[in-house]
């Protein structure tokens, strides 16, 4: 049986990984994290700066976090909601500078 201290150290050490920044400012996500988060090659992620850290989030998770924030005095149709979402994606997730 593993004592609590050893278990905590094991978890800490397995959740810490070192990565390198490439000449193109790219970072490779360690496979253990990609597998744990079910990330797929080519999948887009939202990147945000939090203090001295970069946080990568799947867009779907961001939508879930933001759900319920939009308030409207009148009901929004599905078509209008889709239009709003597409506009927000174009404005916030565009790959063009």
> How do the domains of the chain map onto residue ranges?
29-97
- pLDDT tens digits for range 65-78: 776 666 677 777 87
- CA-nearest of 29, 96, 27, 93 to 60 is 93
Rounded to whole angstroms, how far apart are CA atoms 10 and 27?
25
Q: For the chain, give the mean pLDDT.
A: 80
Rounded to whole angstroms, how far apart are CA atoms 45 and 57?
5
pLDDT of residue 24: 95
pLDDT of residue 96: 54
pLDDT of residue 70: 65
- CA-nearest of 94, 77, 96 to 86 is 94
Full-model pTM: 0.54
Rounded to whole angstroms, how far apart are CA atoms 85 and 71?
14
Question: 29-97 adopts what CATH topology?
Answer: Pemi-like Protein 1; Chain: D (2.10.260)
Average pLDDT over residues 20-34: 91
pLDDT of residue 75: 78
Average pLDDT over residues 34-59: 88
With a cut of 70, say whether residue 82 has pLDDT above it.
yes
């Amino acid at each position: 049986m593993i004592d609590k201290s050893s278990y905590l150290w094991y978890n800490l050490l397995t959740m810490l990984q070192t990565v390198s920044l490439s000449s193109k400012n790219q970072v490779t996500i360690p496979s253990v994290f990609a597998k744990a988060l079910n990330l797929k090659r080519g999948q887009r992620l939202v990147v945000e700066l939090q203090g001295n850290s970069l946080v990568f989030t799947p867009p779907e998770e961001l939508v879930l976090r933001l759900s319920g924030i939009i308030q409207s005095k009148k009901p929004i149709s599905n078509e209008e909601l889709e239009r709003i979402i597409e506009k927000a994606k174009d404005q916030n997730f565009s790959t063009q500078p």
